[in-house]
Amino acid sequence: MLNTFKKKLIGSRQFYRSLLILIIPIIIQQGITNFVNLLDNVMVGRLGTESMSGVAIINQLIFVFNLAIFGGLSGASIYGAQFFGKGDYDGVRYAFRFKIIYSLIMTAVAVGILYSFHEPLISLFLTDSASGGDLILTQREATTYLFLMLIGLLPFALSQSYASTLREAGETVAPMVASCIAIFTNLILNYILIFGHFGAPRLGVAGAAIGTVISRYVELLYLVIYVLHTSKKYVFFQKAFKSLYIPAEITKKILLTSSPLICNEILWSMGVAMINQCYSTRGLAVVAATNITSTAWNLFCVIMFAMGSAVSIIVGQQLGAGEIERAKDTDTKLIFFTLILHIGIGFLIIVSAPFVPLIYNTEQTVRDLATQLLRVAGLALPLHAFAHVTYFTLRCGGKTMVTFLFDCVFSWVISFPIAFILSRFTDLSVIWIYFCVQFADAIKVIIGVILLRSGIWAKNIVSDN
């Protein structure tokens, strides 16, 4: 029985060696990114709770755009990974072109919406309460930060188009290097511009936005130069811009696959924003505390995010090569590995919870709230990790409508109503509301196990047949 267990759930040394080669650059990239985000958060936090809360509100809104980009590119990436596994480089090129066109359109839409409706969107997160805080100052800081951040939306989207295409070909180092250069540029510029060091003007939240925008252009520039210098190796980038032609049949397939993903990511991220809006009804201190919690949580979860990418790449390539049973076996081992790792990481979050808020220059009330929220997040992490890799499993086989139901519909039908009802119709503290929302994912885990065991996701979607 033990041998059966090991054979089913535990891979060989070569399996884990190959996995580590793939995910370590992604972990380093995302780890540095989230660590620098934490430092940025701390620097902005030194300007005051209002400044930190204003930036946090805008990041919630931009989060919707980021995931809209992620959803659209992910649909094309499903085909890109399987085309690459099949050896069809024209197909990879068409998928890349789709990403570029989608990025341009979505950026234009996002800039128009955020610029035109910024006041009512920001006001959603500002609620008078006994916790105090200057709401007018918070809104002013948020508006300043937003208008500058809009300039950086397009380079972000284009960078993701290049980076995701490289990852589909198994190249994870170049996107890592590009990201590292960008985030250190961001960190240095933020230090100089937020506080006015080295003779620069003290710009506050405007300095934080300027540093972020410049870093995104730096990241895009590095990726473009890298692709130009390696076009002989990655031939699918050659003549990618000679025209923007994509065969109608491939466009149709990508759109059919992408549409549920795009809707999923937009609606899911909106759901997250609205859940956070429910938390914010308990006061400005809660906005600051949830910002600290989410920033720290992202840092602890870099391995979870990397494992999602690993499932997309490894299992996607095996499905594209027609190795269905091998893909199922690989996926089972990847999910088990992810779950075990995140039981341990969840424990680390709980242990470190009292210390993380101490690095912020904010009120003790905010620190105490953040500590308790982090403990809840650590307890719930294994559930989220399992659901995360299950989502990527379903997606890599093209079952994007199923992922729409699994992810987005769940958020709006289960998670958001829990947050809304408890925040509006009860006197429960935000800690218990947060607890109920986080552990609602136990339902998603049960659904995920059923979907995985059914095997409906294990499909080759680029076969000529």
Q: What is the pLDDT of residue 463?
A: 62
What is the band of 31 on the pLDDT scale with cuts at 50, 70, 90? Answer: confident
Q: At residue 225, does pLDDT exceed 90? A: yes
pTM comes to 0.74
Whether 465 shows a pLDDT value over 50: the answer reads no
DSSP letters, 246-303, are: --HHHHHHHHHHHHHHHHHHHHHHHHHHHHHHHHHTT-HHHHHHHHHHHHHHHHHTHH
Q: How far is C-alpha 213 from the geometric centre of its chain's CA atoms?
A: 18
> What percentage of the chain reaches a pLDDT higher than 90?
32
pLDDT digits (tens, 9 = 90+) for 297-347: 888 888 898 888 888 888 877 887 777 888 888 888 899 999 999 999 999
What local confidence, expressed as pLDDT, does residue 254 receive? 85
Give the Cα separation of 265 and 73 in Å (integer): 11
3-state secondary structure of 169: coil
pLDDT for position 74:
82
Query: Which tops the pLDDT comparison, 318 or 29?
Result: 318
Taking the domains of the chain in order of start, what are their residue ranges? 2-454
The predicted structure's pLDDT at residue 35 = 74
Separation of CA 180 from chain center: 17
Q: Please say whether the dihedral angle defined by the alpha carbons of residues 407, 412, 416 and 418, taken in this order, is positive or negative.
A: negative
Which amino acid, residue 66? N
- Given a contact cutoff of 8 angstroms between Cβ atoms, the answer to whether 55 and 211 are in contact is no
Give the up-direction half-sphere exposure of residue 1: CA atoms within 13 A in the CB hemisphere: 0
Q: How confident is the model at residue 47 (pLDDT cuts 50, 70, 90)?
A: confident
**pLDDT tens sequence across 116-168:** 998 998 888 877 654 555 778 888 989 999 999 999 999 999 999 999 899 88
Summarize pLDDT for 171-193 with one digit per residue, the tens.
Answer: 878 888 998 898 889 889 989 99
Are 199 and 133 contacting, i.e. CB atoms less than 8 angstroms apart? Answer: no
